Amino acid sequence: MKNKISIKKIWLEAFSVMLKKPVIILPFVFIAFFESLALETIFFSTQKPLSFVFNPIVRKFFGETFLHYPGNFFLLQKLFYFTQIVIYVFLGVFMMSMCVNAVKNAKSDLPLKMSAMAKNALKRYGALILFGIIVIILIVLSNKLVAFIFSKIMIRVVKFMPKMASSMYLVGISLFSFLANIVLQIFIVMTIPLMVIQKKALFKAFWKSICMGARNFFGIFMIILLPSLVYAPVTLSKSIIPILIDKTFPEISAIVTLIGIVVAVFVDSFILVCAALIVMNEEKSNV
């Protein structure tokens, strides 16, 4: 990339295109709809007729305790996490491809026809699913690495502040994972825009995204970090759900999750639009 990324310019350009063409965030609204539907299903999973399907599964893998109120709400976050993975791999990356296509068309003054953009996304659906699987694997490995490193740090903390250790662990590991996921995004966030805008094959796009992230680490970090801070309170709330349930009411788990779904529509779409604009500007600078 020849030109240094201007954070202010990318943000203003992203805000402008999203305000002029709000249909750009529609793919993320679809994702939120299916995530909300999954959340609702989990919420009522202990009641008939859903209990006939879910109760045996929960009983086998998690235990009898989580089949009854309020235990089912302690499990809600974990079950939603698993369904979110499935939605991301089979629907999320597909919708993200449509969003990038919408940005490309909007900047080129082309019509934003959802059917045409869906057809374009279907052409690379296999590659998108593979990318989704790779992302999930990287996130899981990143979180495991963070947990390992943070547990080593906490061993030392316990020696000096034993009373604060347990509460610090929940919040601390959540913040570390939050930052680790942002760093991971720096290197992979350009992949789908490169596949859609520059029509690169998956692994070529993946490698170029890594290279772009390495060359523009600070700029992309700031572009992702500041919008992500809007989501930070949700991340922290999720990390202390057991405490929140104990201090308030069990249903708070579902409320926090629903807020997270809504906030993610705007945060995730804004970050992806920024990534698409970076790729488009990079393509122009190379012409």
- Tell me whether residue 1 is in a domain: no
- pLDDT tens for residues 27-75? 999 999 999 999 999 999 988 899 899 999 999 989 888 888 888 999 9
**Residue 109 covered by a domain:** yes
**Mean per-residue pLDDT, 178-205:** 96
Q: Are 98 and 276 in contact (CB under 8 A)?
A: no
CA atoms of 240 and 80, how far apart (whole Å) = 16
Confidence of residue 1 (pLDDT cuts 50, 70, 90): very low
| DSSP secondary structure letter of residue 24 | G
Kindly state whether residue 2 falls inside one of the protein's structural domains: no
Please tell me the distance from the alpha carbon of residue 17 to that of residue 277, in angstroms, as a whole number. Answer: 10
- How many structural domains comprise the chain? 1
In a domain, 130, yes or no: yes
* 4, two tokens: 């240094």
Q: Domain range for residue 98?
A: 7-285
211 within some domain: yes
pLDDT value at 11 more than 60: yes
